[in-house]
A and B are shown apart, each in its own frame.
Chain A
């Protein structure tokens, strides 16, 4: 069975500080992994994805994530938070050969000026 755990439903950081949003997955086979961002009153927007190849994946808006198979993790980071990064972030996993995504419960990021 697929599942995704996002530790911390709310994370607050100061502007300019490191952003770290945690995601762990459980999967019987290596999955495909995604991070999405949701701004207020909008749909989910793809930030980045890991399918195969390099385990450090770069996405939009300066975000990146590293796939660590030994830790079954796919944490999202950004070196320096910007006020515009305030949003809700969702980690999702998709099993090889499957169509549907399994989403985590989301982490709301607040950026403090």
Chain B
């Protein structure tokens, strides 16, 4: 079975550019999560969706970050404009809508902003 699919795996771009990260959750999962992982701050939840609706975006660092989920099989995380401090690994995870169900993670996008 296909797991959570993220693209691209690696992104290197210059500061000020727009960055779009993509995620395809596991089919049938109705909760989707975006995380950011850095050495300094560890794993941070940015935003999560339930049935394509954003439920909690309190972890989004600032207005430069936005996330959408236009349908059950696709989500994007956009950074515009990007800054060097946004460099991190960004993970997408999905799960069934039940608190006893685990989240399944993609392999992440390693983002470097020069």
Interface residues of A (CB under 8 A from B): 32, 34, 36, 41-46, 49, 51-52, 90, 94-101, 103, 105-106
Contact = CB atoms under 8 A, between A and B. Distances in A.
B108 interface: yes
Interface stretch (B13-21, B40-48, B75-83): B40-48
A106 B33 CA distance: 19
B87 interface: no
**Chain A binding surface, main DSSP class:** loop
Contacts of A103: 42-43
B106 A101 contact: no
Interface of B: 4, 31, 33, 42-43, 45, 48, 50, 55-56, 91, 93, 95, 97, 99-100, 102-108, 110
A96 B99 contact: yes
Given A43-B4, A90-B43, A105-B42, A97 B105 contact: no
30 contacts: A32-B99, A34-B102, A43-B91, A43-B93, A43-B105, A43-B107, A44-B91, A44-B93, A44-B105, A45-B105, A46-B102, A46-B103, A49-B102, A51-B100, A52-B100, A90-B43, A94-B99, A94-B100, A96-B99, A99-B31, A99-B48, A99-B55, A99-B97, A100-B45, A100-B56, A101-B45, A101-B103, A103-B42, A105-B42, A106-B43
A95 B106 CA distance: 23
A52 B91 CA distance: 28
Given A44-B93, A45-B105, A95-B99, 16 more contacts: A32-B100, A34-B102, A41-B107, A41-B110, A46-B102, A46-B104, A94-B99, A94-B100, A98-B99, A99-B48, A100-B45, A100-B48, A100-B56, A101-B45, A103-B43, A106-B43
